[in-house]
A and B are shown apart, each in its own frame.
Chain A
Amino acid sequence: MFPFTLEKPRSTEDAIAAAASGARFIAGGTTLIDLMREQVECPDRLIDINSLPFGGIRVEGEDLVIGALARMAEVAADPNVQRLQPLIAESLIEGASPQLRNMASMGGNLLQRVRCPYFRMLDAGCNKRTPGSGCAAIDGLNSGHAILGTSDHCVATHPSDVAVALVALDATMRVKGPQGERSFPVEELFRLPGDTPHLEHTLLPGELIVEIRVPGGPHSRRARYLKVRDRASYEFALVSAAAALSIEDGVIREVRLAVGGVGTRPWRLRDCEAALVGTRPERRAFEEAAQLARQGARPLRHNQFKVELLPRTVVRALALAGEVA
């Protein structure tokens, strides 16, 4: 690990100013410290933001508002989260381990870096880590990599579970930066790799995520997160799906669907959603709609199976949400 200095900001403004001049925020540190140890991340200044007032979880009308410094475990255990947005709680406890969930902040979770093994290895090409160095994964071992949203420069999968749930639920986030505050959909946080895979998100220099707002609706209560993996726990998703349904008079009125483990960012399935609205919540309808999930999929040598597993996971998540056999 490179040497660094650790700064404790006196105010949010202090923290933002420091970050705008090149320092890095640190909250739980579960991604950053790990990558600093590998020297994938080499910040020389860290700003410990844990004392800033962005923790806690509250309810505003139908909205659930989650502080960016709230810990994953705290959010998952919160009665309001469990009551209003069980999908978020479910996606959180399927991620990482109890210990890591006690440490990792919600803001940090959204900004966690990819799990591509070559990204972690300084002696392999990785355009995300070292722009212009090539992508060792495209012609290497790539069973865990993405099939959607990839480019010739990067095929790494976005690893977050709760981000998939938040994108499905049309969550928005509020950020503070040197130019003031702004809010935007969580989905817009994530960039596609394109030819600039080192640019992962749309935050401006110095911007700090302060809270996440999740609007409630009739779909919120009929929502499930399904994470498919070879190990029952403590493993990143091969494919995951967040599905939320609003059903009235036996017909789907509204549906929210997003998938993880397959995309270079959390992947909303709007075509599937559109195909499902107005249909009856039945397996056949789910299967037909789920075929649309793999539109545009570009499998690599070792992850071909995800093209098959993706629609199956979508069907199963919809079936769980709709309580259909």
Chain B
Amino acid sequence: MAENPSELHPPGPIISRREALQATAAAAALAALPSASVAATNAAAANTVTLTMTVNGRAHTLTIDPRQSVLDVLRETLNLTGTKKGCNQGACGACTVLVNGKRIVSCLTLASMHDGARIETIEGLEKDGALHPLQEAFVEHDGLQCGFCTPGQIMSGLGCIAEGHAGSPEEIQFWMSGNICRCGAYPGIVAAVADAAGRT
């Protein structure tokens, strides 16, 4: 048996030219500093972009790494952890938010491409201490168990209703199939979306 049987191809680029340059500059400048502060200064050397996003009605001016997804900006930069990372591959729907009124998966959306965007997340639905009718309906119909997919389900449900796809339980099932619920709270989710669609 040959060594490294799964390494069937020559390695690709491991570290890019730009990364090497940044690293060299940072390392040279900070050789004498303790490790904890190396990180912060390295980050400053990195490529960043500045943009404005309105999240739940509040404008934020952010300087971010262009690689950051809307999801990571929400969770790690703004500490809005209500939006969940289930797969980070667009395959589960847990990270669903509304961008300019449309439901999208925030994990596959670069924040740097959404300068000026209006983003709504689960944290923005409650108004003056009153739940949104869809939030209420999720509780009443027990459309949740562990609750982890719930923010994504609710934001997706808002999109589903707004798109006019909540006319029947079957229609809701079809148009809510981009949100996986491993606990299997689907019957309650469908009932909640139907109920809220009727109320609004």
Contacts and interface: CB of A to CB of B under 8 A. Distances in A.
Is A–B contact present in the complex under a CB 8 A cutoff?
A: yes
Interface of A: 1-6, 26, 29-30, 33-34, 37, 39, 42, 44, 48, 50, 73, 77, 93, 96-100, 102-103, 122-126, 130, 132-134, 136, 232-234
B88 A37 contact: yes
Contact of B67 (A3, A34, A102): A3
Contacts of B31: none
Interface stretch (B137-145, B171-179, B188-196): B171-179
Contacts of B96: 99
Interface in B97-127: 102-105, 108-110, 112-113
B16 interface: yes
Given A125-B8, A133-B8, A232-B177, A3 B90 contact: no
B56 interface: no
Contacts of B16: 2-3, 42, 44
A136 B112 contact: no
Interface in B155-191: 156, 159-160, 163, 165, 174-180
A244 to B, nearest CB: 23
A6 B110 contact: yes
B89 interface: yes
Contacts of B12: 39, 42, 122, 130
Contacts of A122: 12
Contacts of A42: 12-13, 16
A122 B10 CA distance: 10
Given A3-B65, A3-B67, A136-B8, 18 more contacts: A3-B19, A29-B109, A30-B90, A37-B89, A42-B12, A42-B16, A77-B163, A97-B90, A97-B179, A98-B177, A99-B96, A100-B108, A124-B6, A124-B8, A125-B9, A130-B10, A130-B12, A133-B10
Nearest to A132: B9
Given A97-B178, A100-B90, A5 B108 contact: no
12 contacts: A3-B66, A29-B109, A33-B108, A48-B113, A77-B163, A98-B178, A99-B90, A99-B159, A100-B108, A102-B159, A133-B10, A134-B8
Contacts of A6: 49, 66, 110, 112-113
Given A5-B47, A34-B89, A34-B90, A103 B8 contact: no
B110 A33 contact: yes
Interface of B: 6-10, 12-13, 16, 18-19, 46-47, 49, 65-67, 69, 88-91, 93, 96, 102-105, 108-110, 112-113, 156, 159-160, 163, 165, 174-180
B61 to A, nearest CB: 17
A125 B2 CA distance: 15
A165 to B, nearest CB: 19
Given A5-B47, A5-B66, A133-B8, A102 B103 contact: yes
Given A133-B9, A134-B9, A234 B109 contact: no
Nearest to B9: A133
The 3 closest A-B pairs by CB, nearest first: A133-B9, A97-B178, A125-B8
A29 B113 CA distance: 10
Contacts of A44: 16, 18
B8 to A, nearest CB: 3
A98 B163 contact: yes
Contact of A99 (B18, B67, B110, B178): B178
A6 B114 CA distance: 12
A50 to B, nearest CB: 7
Contact of A233 (B8, B105, B109, B177): B177
A154 to B, nearest CB: 14
A97 B90 CA distance: 9
B104 A99 contact: yes
A34 B46 contact: no
Contact of B69 (A2, A4, A33): A33
A98 B159 contact: yes
Given A5-B66, A29-B109, A133-B9, A102 B102 contact: yes
Contacts of B8: 124-125, 133-134, 136
B49 A98 contact: no
A73 to B, nearest CB: 8
A3 B46 contact: yes
A6 B6 CA distance: 34
B7 A123 contact: yes
A133 B9 CA distance: 4
